[in-house]
Amino acid sequence: MSQTLFYRLAITMIPQIGPVTFKKLVSHFGTAEAVFQAKRKDLNDLLFLTEDNREHILNKSAHIAAEKEVEFIAKNDIKVLYYEDEEFPERVKIYEAAPAMLFYKGNADLNHHRTIGIVGTRKTTPYGQELCKQIVEEFQRYDVQVISGLANGIDSIAHKKSIEVDIPTVGVLGHGLQMVYPYNNEKLAAEMINAGGILTEYTSDQGPDREHFPARNKIVAAMCDALLVVESAAKGGSLITARFASNYCKKVFAIPGRKNDTMSAGCNELIKNKKADLAESANDIAKVMKWSTQSRVAHIQTRLFIELDDREKEIVNIIKKLDTPSLDRICYETKILNSEMASLLLNLEFKGVIKSLPGKRYMQTA
């Protein structure tokens, strides 16, 4: 795999070869390694290559950088997602210009069945801050994944609140994983790796250049099923993301603000021109998207059940099977002493898996 990764990285590091050309090259030659084994005549036949492209392939100028990147990836335990991999975000790969590779640190499923993008201004108002937190907390009921750009302002608020209420959240970066920008979000990014993830199309030699952020916004727009703009001035990156989302046929929502509030001007304009639906709560979005709350409950139950030990699972199964059995009946079925069973049942209650009833009977929670 390291050799395969090496050659794929080497192609991406050739100047002026983007994802579309990358895919054409690999499709034509069969593998990334075969690209560098090609003769000049073979490359001259490919009209989509420039003369500079051909020279870089033939003189293998990108190999040193690729070697360094392979070392960086191994040292920092980075997952490399190739566009043909099952783990690569399906919502992204359908677009022709989608990155050929993504670099990822985290534990979130990048193909989560429901995703909401949340973006907004860096210069937030108390109104936007509180509404963003409120809406993210409301999304806890809908089993969604929150996608944003890890910028200051609304992005950071959405990520932080997601972590607080146990919603997986993914930040898409405009630079490689050798750093976190803005720098004050380093701690937040570390927390997200354990409660979601951070994702980028850029290798570790690429910093937060201005042109990288519109590309970052494209991935945010592609990864979400719906996009919410919380606060935005008349111009800004949030509106660019909204435009990308609209072009990708994603549903766009915006929170309205007061007429003369400059930080709501972009949202109001989106709503006024029918480029976004008005949203004041997560329920407004869920209604349009036809998202129910059932899957969130099932997700919580499944997660809790996985966290139980074998004896606890046996007790829960018996309670479910017998329908509000008594303490004595549970002890009889499990062959666990009454004194020990009381402690186990109390622990299951604390976990929210079962509920005690009058007469020392128990039921599984809904």
Are both 141 and 281 inside the same structural domain? yes
Residue 4: the pLDDT is 95
Are both 9 and 132 inside the same structural domain? no
Q: Give the orientation angle of helix 154-164 with respect to helix 126-138, to 10 degrees.
A: 40
Residue 259: the pLDDT is 87
Which of 17-21, 57-61, 234-238, 345-349 shows the lowest mean pLDDT across its residues?
A: 345-349
CA distance 272 to 292: 28
Show which of 56, 75, 94 is a domain's final residue: 75
Which of 280-284, 301-305, 309-313, 343-347 shows the lowest mean pLDDT across its residues?
A: 301-305
DSSP run (H or E) holding 82:
strand 79-82
* CATH at residue 19: 1.10.150
pLDDT tens, position by position, 71-100? 999 999 999 999 999 999 999 999 989 999
Are both 178 and 270 inside the same structural domain? yes
Residue 52 lies in a domain: yes
The larger pLDDT score, comparing residue 314 to residue 293, is at 314
Domain encompassing residue 53: 2-75
Residue 365: the pLDDT is 75
Residue 298: the pLDDT is 52
pLDDT tens, position by position, 110-121? 999 999 999 999
pLDDT tens, position by position, 252-290? 999 999 888 999 999 999 999 999 999 999 999 999 999
For range 322-337, the mean pLDDT = 89
Residue 352: the pLDDT is 78
Residue 354 lies in a domain: yes
Are both 112 and 202 inside the same structural domain? yes
Are both 109 and 243 inside the same structural domain? yes
Residue 304: the pLDDT is 54
Are both 110 and 232 inside the same structural domain? yes
CA distance 169 to 193: 9
Are both 111 and 246 inside the same structural domain? yes
Residue 212 lies in a domain: yes
Residue 281 lies in a domain: yes
Residue 360: the pLDDT is 84
Residue 320: the pLDDT is 86
Show which of 258, 292, 326 is a domain's final residue: 292
Cα→Cα distances 356→167, 263, 297, Å: 28, 50, 20
Are both 112 and 153 inside the same structural domain? yes
Q: Which two tokens stand for residue 259?
A: 């007429």
Helix (H, G, I), strand (E, B) or coil at 112: coil
Strands 101-106, 79-82: pairing is antiparallel
Show which of 292, 324, 345 is a domain's final residue: 292
Residue 353: the pLDDT is 84
Cα→Cα distances 97→92, 134, 209, 228, Å: 9, 35, 20, 24
Q: pLDDT confidence of 301, banded at 50, 70, 90?
A: low
- Of 295, 314, 158, the C-alpha closest to 230 is 158
Are both 284 and 320 inside the same structural domain? no
Are both 190 and 241 inside the same structural domain? yes
pLDDT above 90 (res 186): yes
* CATH at residue 137: 3.40.50.450
Are both 54 and 133 inside the same structural domain? no
Are both 286 and 312 inside the same structural domain? no
- Specify the number of domains making up the chain: 3
